[in-house]
Amino acid sequence: MQVTGLTKSFGPRTLFANVSFRIGPGDRLAVAGRNGAGKTTLLRILAGLEEADSGSVSIPRGERVALHDQRPDAQAAGTVREYVEQGLSHARDAEERMAALEARMADGDHGATTMAEYDRAQSDLEAAGGYHWRAWVERVTRGLGLRDDHLDRPLASLSGGELTRASLARALAGRPQVLLLDEPTNHLDLEAMEWLEGIVKDIGAAVVIVSHDRWFLESTATSVLEISNGRAKHWPMGYSAFRRARAEEDAQQAVMAERRREEMERLERFVTRWRAGTKAKQAKSRARKLERLEPIAAPSRDKSLSFGFPKTERPGRVVLEADGLGVEVAGRSLVDGAGFTIERGQRVAVVGPNGAGKTTTVETLLGRRDAAAGRVSMGHKVLPSYFTQHAREYDGRKSLAETVKTGTSLTETEARTLLGRFLFSGEMADRLVEDLSGGERRRLGLVELVAEGGNLLVLDEPTNHLDVESREALEDALLAYDGTVILVSHDRALIDAVATHTLSLEEGTALMRAGGYGDLLAARQDGGGDDASGSGSGTGGGGASGRARNGVGAPPAGKAARTKAPKGVRGDDSSGGAADAPRRSNGRLAREVSKIEARIAGIEAEIAVVEAEVAEAGAAGDVEAVTRLGERHRALQEDLSYAMAEWEDRAAMLVEGA
């Protein structure tokens, strides 16, 4: 994709001007900029859904462009499966063309035109992933957390998060040459995010990414396009390198601006003092030099959040303790028999897949929901403050300053000062709450959180609607906070920077571990399930399922995946009693998985042979052989899809039994 001189304005405001870049296969360009900089608008222009005021976007003829929109059409007709497979209409079309041509050839049409059309259709199908494109669709939907029973539901019945995942699945399923991703990690759990990172890096497309997820950007981006104050600049480096280089450039520019200002002031003082004195000639010369000098602008960046939490009252050592805790919702057990302790000063990230019950568990710990079993004890002098991911109920007729003062001891001046630190300065403090956007309401919630002064912060998805700079400001504030934190978030960079412990909800268990997100990944990869916190104990043993990063539900392309035998199975117990039953079951499953992997490898090898024979028969004009081999190829692809599904089921059972 070649982009040249794109400019876009809304009324008198120019979003961006003269944006140019080139992106090729395998390049992954992150578009960085503050909220409102025009990042989503740029993606929609690249996708052909909006017009630029000037400039051009060009791609080679026949190349496909797919956009994952963070605001997909909720009114689209059909089922989820039909919606996702719209991204592969070219594959279905090529398959149907091949079937029709094979029928014509079977009826005796052996002309050169027919054979040429068949070759084109076959090439188109191979470019779309071959006959196993349906298996690819299943791999994508499962990887993004869309269960099989979701696929035949009407699209209109999906929640906002499910609809966003369906939009992402449709964009990925089509294997486009240019993939445009607008906030792709929204509504994904941690496992799906990791899966998506692997797919984005392996798909081979030219990818343009808009995201506030710093971990995702660092993992995937090969270059950055920064949009700031209407101007765009390309940085040919990864995301963290871009942030460092930009900070260094800003620092250098600030130094140069200050030196130029001092030089101009010095010349001006000399000219003013000696214009009519004994050094008039030198003054005239320096006046001419002053006229030639231009001020150097200081680095201009949009204002960012900058705040901290006040010093809190010191509670007892144990802040919160759960013993035999059971958590249920609508009769479904989420956590059973959990026991752990959270101590003063710890920052605990609650993690788990979507639907595991993170919010429900946190609200049970706070006493906002009744526990199904066990007990939760709050420690001495613990004052919790809860920041919910759901919108707070406000009196829309009150101003921001009045809202912050309500329920706190802040004076008018203190309330306005605090609001200013959250970018509600000056007259903005007099705005009515009902006029705020969703992101502004989130910031107002943070203002109230600071004003409450609790010594236990419970934060449920606090980074929603916050840009990168605001997320980093929150990160800094939490690191400097002297109280205890319980954090529910999908922001892996925030978790890794802030968390001292993780409380992982895994298949009905609650497991406490020491460390941040990187430590959690390492523990899962090692198969570790032991409590490393020193202050709490998980239940149920065993770590997370740890599915392969290179794809959920299917072995890696071209070879069968290998499933490691579960750790922790001892070989020195020869009692042969009931204790051996799980081990024998795991051994049987492991053997079944190995057999299925061997079958998959055999099918793939046979497919490769058949494809080579089809190419030879087509080149020789052997119509009967092409028809016969085409039927054999389709049958093998069906066998492969079935074997892959069987492999996934057995592998999942094996991991669950670990």
Residue 614 tokens, joined? 């089809």
What are the extents of the domains in the chain?
75-176, 304-383+453-546, 578-656
* The CATH number fitting domain 304-383+453-546, selected from 3.40.50.300, 3.40.720.10, 3.10.20.30, 3.90.76.10: 3.40.50.300
Q: Which CATH architecture has domain 75-176?
A: 3-Layer(aba) Sandwich (3.40)
- Average pLDDT over the chain, rounded to whole? 80
Q: Which of 23-27, 174-178, 516-520 has the lowest mean pLDDT?
A: 516-520
pLDDT band at 647 (very low <50, low <70, confident <90, very high): confident
Check for a shared fold between 75-176 and 304-383+453-546.
Answer: yes
Q: Which of 19-28, 251-260, 398-407, 534-543 has the lowest mean pLDDT?
A: 534-543
Alpha-carbon dihedral sign for residues 530, 534, 540, 545: negative
Terminal alpha carbon distance of the chain: 47
Contacts of 355 (CB under 8 A, 6+ apart): none
The model's pLDDT over 372-394, given as tens digits with 9 standing for 90+, comes to: 999 999 999 999 999 987 656 77
Q: Which of 567, 545, 563, 564 is nearest to 554 (CA)?
A: 563
Mind giving me the DSSP string for 19-33? Answer: EEEE--TT-EEEEE-
The model's pLDDT over 24-39, given as tens digits with 9 standing for 90+, comes to: 999 999 999 887 788 9
Q: Which of 310, 460, 456 is nearest to 382 (CA)?
A: 456
* Other beta carbons within 10 Å of 141: 26
Q: Which amino acid is at 340?
A: F
pLDDT band at 10 (very low <50, low <70, confident <90, very high): confident
Cα–Cα separations (whole angstroms), residue 209 to 82, 144, 178, 386: 25, 17, 11, 33
The model's pLDDT over 446-497, given as tens digits with 9 standing for 90+, comes to: 888 888 889 999 999 888 878 888 888 889 889 999 999 999 998 989 998 9
Residue 597 tokens, joined? 């992997």
Q: Which of 498, 543, 533, 538 is nearest to 518 (CA)?
A: 498
